[in-house]
Amino acid sequence: MKIIKRFRWILFLSIGGLLLALILFFLLDYQQEPLVMNSQARSEAAGEFIQLSQGTTHYRLLGPPEGELVVLIHGGMVSGMYAWDKNYQVLVENGYRVLKYDLYGRGYSDRLEVAYTPELFFGQFEELLDSLAIKEPFYLAGLSLGSMPAIDYTARHPEQVKKLMLISPAARGLFNLHPLLEVPLLSDFLMTVYWQPRAIDQQMKEFYKPENFQDYKEELKKMVRYEGYKDSNYSTWIHTLTYSMEPFIRQIAKEGTPVALVLGAHDPYLAPDEANIYQEMIPELEVFIIDEAGHVVNFEKPEEVNKLMLNFFQPSDATGSAEKN
């Protein structure tokens, strides 16, 4: 009889605990993403919007129409092209035309209810170029996740990319998903109860000195509140950050496109010796290691990165020998 009573109590407590966990999940889920990315939300954004086959894409095309084009593709942070806010203006001031845009699931572009595969990001970039009727060859820079569509496009269209700069590239499929996040339903619970409340602080750790970038933190706080944030990140982890671009990188080397690699000396994801791996794949690679910088090196050390970009994004016969750190 005692065993039966004990079993009943255990069953009762288990059911009660499960119900409390579900209530907590639904309350947090509702509170975490109360906003919808729609025309009202986009009214506060500078730039233009274009409807592509998968959804709406936010972009900005700046600088003189006759200037040489530089395309900037940001990384996986939900802040989107805000990651280039300390870089693009210098290029414009030096006579370049600059195209930057928000990847799906980031910034003011659509949060899609689809798998965030490499092909999704590759297709968005190519469609954007086609829709804007960009035919001339251009310079290209990819930051972190943004290095993947940059590498893909360069490998398939070497005649279109004059030079390629990879900044903290997340392009070798090094991301390791925690096994518990591979369990259906449990992954949704953990993303809501455990991951999302820590997301902003974890992303700020990508800076060497995060306390210096409260403006970036405020931008993250704003953008994480839009519906679809957790789903887009989770899907990107599963489908894209585990995908290696090494065959494409080797193809770029064969085609002879000039490539520069920029790394932060204190990147929590990519050790400086990651440069050796890229150097093996691209023997002519130019490598720059920036001191006192983390993963978002272009935002943390804009003066140094801007100087590198201006030096690299010019005709080959004018670059001379760049000083490497």
Q: What CATH number has the domain bearing residue 54? A: 3.40.50.1820
Classify residue 127: in a domain, yes or no. Answer: yes
Which residues does 32 contact at the CB level (< 8 Å), separation at least 6?
192, 196, 224, 225, 229, 230
Picking from 111, 113, 94, the residue whose alpha carbon sits closest to that of residue 103 is 111
Query: What's the pTM value of the predicted model, to 2 decimals?
Result: 0.91
Which residues does 226 contact at the CB level (< 8 Å), separation at least 6?
33, 35, 36, 37, 41, 111
Task: Supply the pLDDT for residue 193.
Answer: 85
Task: Supply the pLDDT for residue 162.
Answer: 98
Classify residue 139: in a domain, yes or no. Answer: yes
As a whole number of angstroms, the distance between CA 234 and CA 165 comes to 27
Classify residue 28: in a domain, yes or no. Answer: no
Per-residue pLDDT of 104-150, as tens digits, reads 999 999 999 999 999 999 999 999 999 999 999 999 999 999 999 99
Extract the residue ranges of the chain whose pLDDT is less than 70: 1-28, 30, 317-325
Task: Supply the pLDDT for residue 82.
Answer: 98
Classify residue 30: in a domain, yes or no. Answer: no
Task: Supply the pLDDT for residue 25.
Answer: 59
Task: Supply the pLDDT for residue 320.
Answer: 39
Count of structural domains, the chain: 1
Which whole-number Å values give the CA distances from 135 to 118, 138, 157, 190, 311, in the listed order? 23, 9, 11, 45, 24
Q: Which domain holds residue 256?
A: 39-315
Classify residue 304: in a domain, yes or no. Answer: yes
As a whole number of angstroms, the distance between CA 14 and CA 20 comes to 10
Classify residue 198: in a domain, yes or no. Answer: yes
Picking from 100, 70, 64, the residue whose alpha carbon sits closest to that of residue 84 is 100
Task: Supply the pLDDT for residue 325.
Answer: 39
Classify residue 18: in a domain, yes or no. Answer: no
Contacts 24+ apart (CB under 8 A), 88-93: 88/60, 88/62, 90/302, 90/306, 90/309, 90/310, 91/63, 91/306, 91/309, 91/310, 91/313, 92/62, 92/63, 92/67
Classify residue 262: in a domain, yes or no. Answer: yes
